[in-house]
């Protein structure tokens, strides 16, 4: 309802150009990888985040409906997993990458012998630095309408935004260990759930229009870690 109200009030206020941000969770649970834009509404959603996914899908469809009915220029971008400065590093309710940064940092400080990660470490995930996401958002918003229209469809207008590459959770943990200076062993716990085995975005539509991510994963993690070190008091909340 919040999303729908924001879009409607933007229209009521005379806003003719708008960018709506969604999420990769809009795609069905069992979908070919990498996930193309035309996979939307082709299958059952992941049950654990179905309400969130439906809200984001509603935002896409509302933007498309205003465009067709009122001639607005409302666009939607669907980012993959984001990370970077200002992230949530809470020990219990943060996402996987900031959670790993904090755990490996604290393990390095304590000179711990090992860090255990959940699951087998084999699931693969894609990550995009927030600066890349900001750049991509402005790129899409600033595209000439003719170019945007030529690369989308009136009822399939959203655009995936991602790095186009993924890593296993174990590989991710190894990169974080290197960045934070952790020298111990990395263990896996197969008794814990792995979750979805792979979630990779097909970013060819955006690449065709002229934008690609520029910040490599290790470089981006190092940037996020610097922010964490400079803001640990706040990040420890």
Q: Which residues constitute the domain of residue 65?
A: 2-235
Confidence at residue 13, expressed as pLDDT on a 0 to 100 scale = 97
Single pTM value for the model: 0.93
CATH number of domain containing 67: 3.40.50.720
Q: Of the listed 52, 74, 83, 225, which one is catalytic?
A: 52
| Structure confidence at residue 236 (pLDDT) | 56
* 92 band by pLDDT with thresholds 50, 70 and 90: confident
Within 8 A by CB and 6+ apart from 12, the residues are none
Among 166, 164, 177, residue whose Cα is nearest residue 222: 177
How does pLDDT run across 14-70, given as a tens digit for each residue? 999 999 999 999 999 989 999 999 999 999 998 888 999 999 999 999 999 999 999
Residue 17 has a CB neighbour count (10 Å cut-off) of 12
Tokens of 225: 């870690």
Residue 36: DSSP 8-state? P
Q: What are phi and psi of 152, to 5 degrees?
A: -135, -175
How many domains does the chain divide into?
1
Q: Does residue 81 contact residue 95 with C-beta atoms inside 8 Å?
A: yes
Residue 170 confidence (pLDDT) above 60:
yes
- Is residue 74 part of the annotated active site? The answer reads no
pLDDT (tens digit per residue) in 111-156: 999 999 999 999 999 999 999 999 999 999 999 999 999 999 999 9
Question: How many alpha carbons fall within 13 Å on the CB side of residue 101?
Answer: 27
């Amino acid at each position: 309802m919040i999303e729908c109200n924001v879009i409607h009030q933007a229209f009521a206020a005379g806003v003719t150009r708008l960018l709506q941000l969604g999420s990769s969770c809009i795609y069905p649970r069992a979908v070919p990888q990498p996930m193309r834009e035309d996979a939307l509404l082709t299958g059952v959603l992941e049950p654990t985040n179905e309400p969130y996914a439906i809200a984001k899908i509603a935002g896409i469809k509302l933007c498309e409906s205003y465009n067709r009915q009122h001639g607005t220029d409302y666009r939607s971008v669907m980012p993959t997993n984001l990370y970077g400065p200002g992230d949530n590093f809470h020990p219990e309710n943060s996402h996987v990458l900031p959670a790993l940064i904090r755990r490996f940092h604290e393990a390095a400080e304590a000179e711990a012998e090992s860090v255990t990660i959940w699951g087998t470490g084999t699931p693969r995930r894609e990550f995009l630095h927030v600066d890349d996401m900001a750049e991509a958002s402005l790129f899409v918003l600033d595209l000439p309408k003719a170019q945007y229209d030529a690369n989308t469809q009136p009822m399939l207008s959203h655009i995936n935004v991602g790095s186009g590459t993924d890593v296993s959770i174990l590989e991710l943990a190894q990169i974080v260990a290197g960045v934070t200076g952790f020298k111990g062993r990395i263990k896996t716990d197969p008794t814990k759930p792995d979750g979805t085995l792979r979630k990779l975005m097909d970013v060819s539509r955006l690449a065709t229009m002229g934008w690609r991510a520029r910040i490599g994963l290790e470089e981006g993690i190092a940037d996020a870690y610097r922010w964490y070190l400079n803001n640990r008091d706040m990040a420890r909340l």
